Structure formats: C-alpha cells, structure tokens
C-alpha cells in the first residue's frame, strides 16, 4: 500500500509507504527541491500542495509558526514545509509544486 508523490517542477513521481517523509521522497527521487535547516525553522523548503493534502500529516505548531513568519500574506492554506510533512495515508496521490 503506497501513495504516489509527484513533484511537478521536476517531472518526477515516486510511490512511497505511509510514514515516509517528503524529505525522503525528494532524496530518493533526485528532485532539486531545496532544503535548508531540515528542522522546520528556516522556511527554505516551503511548497504548495496542488493535490492530496488529505494524505499528508497535519501541520505541526512549529510549521504554523514558521509559515506565519515567512509568508507575509502570500501563503495559501496549501503551503507546507517539506521537511515537516509525512505521508499519512496510502492509496492516494500527492502533487507538490515549489
Ligand atoms: S528546510 Fe528549513 S524549514 Fe524545512
């Protein structure tokens, strides 16, 4: 049981099991999606979830705090930090744009 993660900018797709982090997906797929701190503090890894938010882990308090600091009103409810998200459910499709 997997969920398909597509990284639109890089024309990449990978099937992953629930529990995998988006950071794992990026590293396994060869995506150029940038990371900085990898700890939910810098905002470098902010992305837009085009489809499949319901298959991802919910935003953490840390993620809410950093997104509020970096967005200056430009983020949408679908803006997430890649280093903080995990695949939460199987049998879905998550499409990510950065
Ligand atoms: S890499 Fe710094 S917040 Fe994700």
- Quick: pLDDT tens for 47-92: 999 999 999 999 999 999 999 999 887 889 999 999 999 999 999 9
What is the average per-residue pLDDT within 27-56?
A: 94
Q: Tell how far the Cα of 75 is from the centroid of ligand 1, in angstroms.
A: 15
Tens-digit pLDDT profile for residues 13-28: 999 999 999 988 898 8
Cα(first)–Cα(last) distance of the chain, in Å? 26
- Determine the atom of ligand 1 nearest the C-alpha atom of 35: 1
What pLDDT is stored for residue 11 in this prediction?
Answer: 96
What pLDDT is stored for residue 78 in this prediction?
Answer: 96
Query: 9-21: b or e for each residue (b if 16 or more CB lie within 10 Å)?
Result: eeebebebebebb
User: Pick from 51, 36, 53, 47: which is nearest to 87 by CA?
Assistant: 53
Burial grade of 47 (CB within 10 A; 0-12, 13-18, 19 or more): buried
Query: Is any ligand 1 atom within 6 A of the Cβ of residue 33?
Result: no
- Enter the pTM of the model: 0.92
Contacts of 32 (CB under 8 A, 6+ apart): 9, 10
- Report angle CA 45, 50, 17 to the nearest 5 degrees: 75
pLDDT band at 36 (very low <50, low <70, confident <90, very high): very high
Strands (E), the chain: 3-7, 12-16, 46-51, 79-81, 93-97
What residue's CA is closest to ligand 1, atom 3? 40
What pLDDT is stored for residue 39 in this prediction?
Answer: 94
Q: Which domains does the chain have, with CATH numbers?
A: 3-97 (3.10.20.30)
């Amino acid at each position: 049981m997997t969920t398909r993660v597509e990284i639109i900018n890089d024309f990449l797709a990978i099937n992953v099991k629930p529990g995998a982090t988006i950071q794992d997906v990026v590293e396994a797929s060869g995506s150029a999606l940038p990371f900085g701190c990898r700890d939910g503090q810098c905002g470098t890894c902010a992305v837009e979830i085009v489809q499949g938010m319901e298959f991802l882990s919910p935003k953490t308090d840390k993620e809410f705090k950093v997104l509020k600091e970096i967005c200056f009103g430009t983020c949408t409810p679908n803006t997430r930090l890649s280093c903080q998200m995990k695949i939460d459910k199987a049998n879905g499709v998550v499409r990510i744009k950065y």
